Structure 1
Amino acid sequence: MNTLKGLCCLTLLCLPLGAHAIDAGPASAQQQETEGWLLLQSRNKAASPTPQTATATERELAMQRWLKKYKYEIPDFYDPDAGGKIETKN
């Protein structure tokens, strides 16, 4: 019984060492690119010197588009047969 208890303790002590198996940092070139852009944004390094403005007409149209989404009633139940079908080629 002591051997089993010792083996269990040793296993639990070795578990954190498995976390070091994955290298830190981005896994792919795409992830590196994404993290680079996020870093630029968070540090405000790539901000445009020209502020973006919207005219009163543009703001009004955006507000109307936003309000329009509330005209559609949310159904009580989702009908899975209401949508289209996906055909697969074998």
Structure 2
Amino acid sequence: MKVHYLASLVLLALPLTALAIEPGPSSPQQQETENWLTLQIDGQAASLITQKTTPAEREQAMQRWLDSNKHPIPEYFDQKAGGDTSGGSH
């Protein structure tokens, strides 16, 4: 019976361990990625030249989007049809 109570206490304490993890990047690469995302969000690296699409480009983009709905979503994904998903090399 004591084991049951001890196990319950351990399970209840698990969420408290997540609070001890410091937020922020865990690597220099992640820090650099976050820096680039911040530049993008703030618009600090935005081009001064406004880029506009032509009506023909908008029409082509809309047509591609509409055509993408013509392909049915399969109920199951056939893994052999899409290639090797094992991560190994051949």
- Give TM-score scaled by structure 1 length: 0.61
Alpha-carbon separation, structure 2, partners of 1:67 and 1:46: 33
Instruction: After superposition, give the CA deviation of every residue in 1:2-60 in whole Å (9 maximum; x if it has no partner).
Output: xxxxxx7xxx6xx958854x555322121011110111122221111111111111111
Change (3 A) 1:34 1:81: closer
Alpha-carbon separation, structure 2, partners of 1:37 and 1:31: 10
Alpha-carbon separation, structure 2, partners of 1:30 and 1:44: 21
Aligned length: 78
Alpha-carbon separation, structure 1, partners of 2:29 and 2:68: 34
Structure 1 unmatched runs, 5+: 1-7
Note the aligned Cα RMSD (angstroms).
3.4
Partner of 1:67: 66
Letter in 2 for 1:59: R
**2:36 counterpart of 1:30:** no
Deviation at 1:74, TM superposition (A): 2.6
Change (3 A) 1:60 1:26: same
Identity of aligned residues (%): 43
- Give TM-score scaled by structure 2 length: 0.61
Larger radius of gyration: 1
